Amino acid sequence: MQSLIGKRLKAARAQAGLTQAQLSSRLGFNDRQTLGAIESGKRKVSADELLLVMQTLNRDLEYFTDPFRLDGEGSFSWRTSAESVELFDEFESWAGRCLALYRNLATQEDVWTYPLRLSLTTKSSYEDAHRAAEWLVNEWELGDIPAIKLEEAVSERLRALVLYTDPPEGISGAAVKLSGLSAILINRNEPVGRRSFDLAHELFHLLTWDTIKPDHSEYRDESNKKKRSEQLANCFASALLMPEGILSTWWEQAPDSNETEWRSWVLESANKLHVTAPALLWRFVQLGKLEKNTVVESEYWNAIHEAEGDRPRRFSLDFMKTLSQGLEEGRISVRRAAALVDLAIDDFANLFREHSLEVPFDI
């Protein structure tokens, strides 16, 4: 609790735009070292001091003591085209509660993150990003269709949590770095090709966070495509999901005369790889097999869409099993857990049924 209060205090001070010296003066401390010791968790804060902090920074007690929040820690990097800041902030707050819930209920083994890093920087070339992706395909044994095994590999080999969510329109997903936990959030309502690319794209950010730290919001627009970090992430995702070896083999079988057959072949190939047709064609451009001008019109092709029932279940099986165990062991109440994920009790029960799990409480 001492460490938690210190982190929250530091975050609240920063949001208030105060230096340690300024806040120390308002709190009546003799020097800023006292406040520094509290923020670092080296010194306990007394009840009277905490009350004064709450009044000075206009924060309630839960802000400083509730473990099921992420105030003062964690970094999000969102992939979005959303323009509503209010909706965006509200969803990030909700996502933070879900991640804090998981981290507090999971075992140490569940949240331990494998220290895999890619030695890439903003000075790395696109070819470097391609080679890193090809190495990972082989290292993780992802096979000819990497998208099929990628989520499982991210969960088991990187120990990162993958969550499928229902965000506001315009948000594709996010990479998240917390103390002791990495996570990727994916919009489960997008087509499978977009979900696959977002997963690979956010994986790049997790693997290069220390050397190519992403922005808090990475807008999917023409201006952001020029950012080096996004260009490298897109190159990595493209090469990861569409290995050069399998594409070269398939290219030899591509029809070269009939436009209808060509379009059908592209859509079918993209569907097999769990990517979009434009993504596949751009990959062929990268490999020198197509000209850029042949890709533009593909944005308007009618791709093969998945059925409604093929959408991923909300959150993930790992998340729900961890939540079930925490409820069964009494480490959190049903009402509290349901409130954190923003569901009524009946809907909360149905969430477990969606994952074919027994409801761990009586309704």
Q: What is the pLDDT of residues 208-219, one digit of tens each?
A: 999 998 988 876
Rounded to 10 degrees, what is the CA torsion of 55, 92, 175, 344?
Answer: 120
pLDDT digits (tens, 9 = 90+) for 118-151: 999 999 999 999 999 999 999 999 999 999 999 9
pLDDT digits (tens, 9 = 90+) for 49-67: 999 999 999 999 988 888 8
Residue type, 2: Q
Q: Distance between CA atoms of 150 and 215, rounded to whole angstroms?
A: 24
User: Does pLDDT of 13 surpass 60?
Assistant: yes
Contact 341, 97 (CB under 8 A): yes
| Domains in the chain, CATH or no CATH each | 2-65 (1.10.260.40), 75-232 (no CATH), 244-310 (no CATH), 317-354 (no CATH)
Count the helix, strand and coil residues of the chain and give each as a percent rounded to the nearest 5.
Answer: 55, 10, 35
pTM value? Answer: 0.86
User: Does pLDDT of 231 surpass 80?
Assistant: yes
Q: Distance between CA atoms of 112 and 131, rounded to whole angstroms?
A: 27
What pLDDT score was predicted for residue 3?
A: 82
What pLDDT score was predicted for residue 15?
A: 83
Higher pLDDT, 279 or 224: 279
Question: 77: alpha, beta or left, given left = phi > 0 and alpha = psi -120 to 50?
Answer: beta
